[in-house]
Structure 1
């Protein structure tokens, strides 16, 4: 998908595609960092806290970033339908970087505060004492899990309200419009898709529940249960979310077809 965006410059003239490309880059970083952290924990690799915190910070911030991007993409569809001729400057393709920087700042500042409010154990030297790179070993203060839970609830509540608001507004606008009902209908279904993508992201919060539910039912070791939850509720939703959106879009789908067709012709020349 990123190769298609890089080779088709006309996508950069549309704010919706720019936000989608940013979501692809963000999800790539999220999957990369989470896979590295998961493998390090599974292999019981320990290293100083000063190297662990940046990985956890990247994984957490990119996780929250995706949900904010989905809300921004819903708002972009709302602006495109409600204000087709007087679009605010920040939502134009040449100014969309303002929205992207705001999203990045919000998703980064909360994890930064979360890891900053912890109490440093005097017996642990962050430069030399090796630790297992898991949040439970970094969050030494009892207020940190509460802050994390409050932040997650706040983020998902606001994003759910934004998606619901944009869907209702576009639905009401669709009923009033006599022309271009096709575009409004597509925007309505796109916002619904963003709501579904948000639900996929929220599956990550079911991991503690499924771990406690599976443990007494199966005779798997803890590592296998952790891998099952990680694969089903973190990796798969992150992979499906952009894939569903990409193949749903007619323009992107045509580019996929041309790309794969070119590859097949090179491999099997007629």
Structure 2
């Protein structure tokens, strides 16, 4: 029995180390991209780049919060419920912010390709700000529903209790599972239909285009496909808690493996696609990124040469 416990802890420790390395890498990449975004006026006055920056900030927050939850869960660390409430609220909010922002970015690409004459009017900086506010409002609805049930069902002493932080702490009634599932599936359905509609419309326009327009259309279509794949992974993440809860009743080791796989596949992988889509594939952002890198390394080389001369 002792041998099984030690091998389980060793496996957990290895998984935690791998996750920490991945999270640190993605956070560093995202911070570089965020810094590049704020260095050029064009980026923070253009809707698609404003939304891109929103996904980067959202990804950073969700990686930090979910990583904290993973560490607390893996090592069975108990915290007071009121602290767990704050962590849960952030996790719940930003779980939805990224997929909803990706959906909005896809709609923006649809307008740019299918309604080009009205694109500047519909996709202004003001529209971007309103979209971000609306995205955060929609993202907060599932969290507000869950917390409203908690606030009306427990006493103040509940918040002073210690427990391992997990969403199950706030599921006080069996029907809450069904309500939570219904809300998540509704969001999934709306986002999926929006992406599919945009994809079909852009594809029709791309097929009808010619010359340089055709090349530009197909590039836009590939961006939508990448968004769709990224969004699919984010949406599957909405189902992960239900899968993990079912697996936990079968076997603890299987639960740990499934949770680890889900975290890598549906939390980390979608977050590394954002830098690929706009950090490397977008010509303007790539040039700005390259320019900043050359400036930083050039400055270091000049400093190094000056030190040698001295």
Shift of 1:267: 4.2
Q: TM-score, normalised by structure 2?
A: 0.76
Structure-2 residue corresponding to 1:100: 132
- The secondary structure found in structure 2 opposite 1:73 is helix
Equivalences for 1:62-73 in 2 at 5 Å?
Answer: 62-73=94-105
Q: Provide the alpha-carbon RMSD of the alignment.
A: 2.7
Structure-2 residue corresponding to 1:53: 85
CA distance in 2, matches of 1:254, 1:38: 37
Structure-1 residue corresponding to 2:166: 134
Comparing 226-235 and 90-99, the one that deviates more: 226-235
Unpaired segments ≥5 residues, structure 2: 1-32, 306-310
Unpaired segments ≥5 residues, structure 1: none
CA distance in 2, matches of 1:221, 1:185: 45
Equivalences for 1:73-222 in 2 at 5 Å?
Answer: 73-87=105-119, 89-118=121-150, 120-121=153-154, 125-178=157-210, 180-204=213-237, 205-206=239-240, 209=243, 212=247, 221=253
Shift of 1:209: 4.6
Where is the helix percentage greater, Structure 1 or Structure 2?
A: 2
User: Deviation above 6 Å: which 4+ runs of structure 1?
Assistant: none
- The secondary structure found in structure 2 opposite 1:131 is strand
Shift of 1:67: 0.8
Shift of 1:90: 4.8
Structure-2 residue corresponding to 1:253: 286
CA distance in 1, matches of 2:134, 2:119: 18
Match of 1:14 among 35, 42, 46: 46
Residues 138-161 of structure 1 show CA distances to partners (whole Å, capped at 9, x for unaligned) of 211112211221111111111111
Residues 156-215 of structure 1 show CA distances to partners (whole Å, capped at 9, x for unaligned) of 1111111110111111122333462233222211111111111221343357657849x8
Report the count of equivalent residues. Answer: 265
CA distance in 1, matches of 2:149, 2:299: 56
CA distance in 1, matches of 2:103, 2:222: 14
CA distance in 2, matches of 1:223, 1:43: 14
Contact 2:38/2:44 (CA < 8 Å) preserved in 1?
A: no
CA distance in 1, matches of 2:54, 2:230: 15
Shift of 1:104: 0.7
Contact 2:231/2:270 (CA < 8 Å) preserved in 1?
A: no
CA distance in 2, matches of 1:255, 1:145: 46
Residues 113-143 of structure 1 show CA distances to partners (whole Å, capped at 9, x for unaligned) of 1232246356x71342222211112211112
